[in-house]
Amino acid sequence: MKKSIYSLIDLREILLGCNRRYLEFLSAIDDHTAGIRALDRSTEEQREADRPIKGLNFFKRTEQQLLRALQRPEFNIHGVRRADLIDLLPDLSPAVLSRQLRRLRYLGVIKRVAGT
């Protein structure tokens, strides 16, 4: 390509194509670091006001049942209450279920929505 002011339009088209291909390449790269950080944060033990809060153990049967129950579609529509979960989790007492929900809120798995 000739180096003159008249070839700037052609050079612009070529460079736009290069930038587009480079951005497509960057968007195709999978980055799992955010997921790994979130998994580490939810499985590690944390402390709140000198009290230890256990992290999630995905291999424990009761925690698997609780997480499966929280994934039910009706809870996405109207939210989750302890009274709704008691029927789905007969192995857990209401007090244990309250502690588990508080722990999940602290770990960031679920959150309280104000005004509901």
On the question of pLDDT at 32 being above 90, the answer is: no
Q: How far, rounded to the nearest angstrom, does the alpha carbon of residue 91 sit from its chain's CA centroid?
A: 27
The pTM of this model reads: 0.65
pLDDT band for position 116 (cuts 50, 70, 90): low
Q: What is the pLDDT of residue 47?
A: 87
Distance of alpha carbon 99 from alpha carbon 48, whole angstroms: 14
Average pLDDT over residues 62-68: 90
Parse the chain into domains and list their residue ranges: 36-107
* Alpha helices (H) in 1-116, listed in sequence order: 8-28, 33-43, 61-70, 73-78, 82-88, 94-107
CB of 80 closer than 8 Å to CB of 110: yes
pLDDT band for position 111 (cuts 50, 70, 90): confident
- What's the pLDDT tens digit per position in 79-99? 888 888 998 888 889 999 999
Phi and psi for 71 in degrees, rounded to 5? -85, 0
